């Protein structure tokens, strides 16, 4: 499966309204991604809610993380201390030294919406978990506006978002395949380090 196909969304998913769309209106740039994982939303949610800098990190596949210093690798466990986001909580972001996201809304195990301000630009990031039988469709939408250089955000920004979300999708799939919960043991053959 190509990087593009691994995070592709359908035309219907692109058109549908999502929680948080109203936070950036009008949006000069909208980036939609979708990932299907082999777990129910209740199993996926703990991994999504703990994402973030100085939290569980940004999941990457093991083959990529092994090149990172151990302190920069994302968690391979669901951590109780990061499971309780509420509106108004601030989560550090990798988008710059002082960049943060503020939690706008949380509806476990289905919706997490962040908002941010980067200079004059407003940002919203919506994550929706939709059941699909025994699987989950994880839909991510990033909205930006006003954007000073739309062409740059629509090319370099779009490529960067595509690659980081594809990496996160691969890392999330690995973690769901080899869960380590609350200090328990991993399945046979599961990664042991962070």
Would you say residue 50 has pLDDT above 60? Answer: yes
Would you say residue 181 has pLDDT above 90? Answer: no
Give the model confidence (pLDDT) of 107-126 as tens digits.
999 999 999 999 999 999 99
Q: What percent of the chain has pLDDT over 90?
A: 84
Q: Is the separation of the CB atoms in 140 and 126 below 8 Å?
A: yes
> Computed over its alpha carbons, how large is the radius of gyration of the chain?
16
Q: Enumerate domains of the chain plus CATH numbers.
A: 18-177 (3.30.530.20)
Reply yes or no: is the peptide bond before residue 89 cis, omega within 30 of 0.
no
pLDDT confidence bin for 68, thresholds 50/70/90? very high
Cα–Cα dist 18/45, whole Å:
17
Higher-scoring residue by pLDDT: 183, 173: 173
Cα dihedral 7, 43, 176, 21, rounded to 10, equals 20
Would you say residue 95 has pLDDT above 90? Answer: no
pLDDT confidence bin for 179, thresholds 50/70/90? low
pLDDT confidence bin for 98, thresholds 50/70/90? confident
pLDDT confidence bin for 184, thresholds 50/70/90? very low
Of 3-12, 13-22, 28-37, where does mean pLDDT reach its minimum? 3-12
Would you say residue 52 has pLDDT above 50? Answer: yes
Angle at 193 between CA 48 and CA 37, to 5 degrees: 35
Give the model confidence (pLDDT) of 128-152 as tens digits.
999 999 999 999 999 999 999 999 9
Q: Which pLDDT value is given to residue 186? A: 33
Cα–Cα dist 8/165, whole Å:
10
Cα–Cα dist 94/118, whole Å:
12
pLDDT confidence bin for 3, thresholds 50/70/90? low
């Amino acid at each position: 499966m190509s990087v593009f196909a691994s995070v592709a969304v359908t035309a219907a998913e692109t058109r549908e309204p999502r929680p948080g769309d109203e936070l950036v209106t009008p949006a000069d740039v909208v980036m939609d991604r979708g990932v299907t994982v082999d777990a129910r939303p209740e199993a996926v949610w703990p991994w999504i809610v703990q994402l973030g800098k100085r939290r569980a990190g940004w999941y990457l596949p093991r083959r990529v993380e092994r090149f990172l210093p151990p302190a920069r690798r994302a968690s391979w466990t669901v951590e109780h201390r990061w499971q309780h986001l509420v509106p108004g909580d601030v989560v550090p972001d990798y988008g710059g030294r002082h960049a943060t996201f503020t939690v706008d809304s949380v509806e476990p195990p289905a919706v997490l919406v962040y908002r941010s301000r980067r200079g004059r630009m407003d940002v919203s990031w919506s994550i929706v978990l939709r059941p699909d039988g025994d699987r989950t469709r994880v839909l991510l939408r990033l909205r930006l506006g006003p954007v000073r250089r739309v062409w740059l955000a629509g090319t370099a920004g779009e490529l960067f978002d595509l690659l980081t979300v594809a990496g996160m999708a691969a890392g999330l799939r690995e973690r769901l395949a080899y869960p380590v919960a609350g200090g328990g043991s991993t399945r046979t053959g599961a990664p042991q380090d962070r």
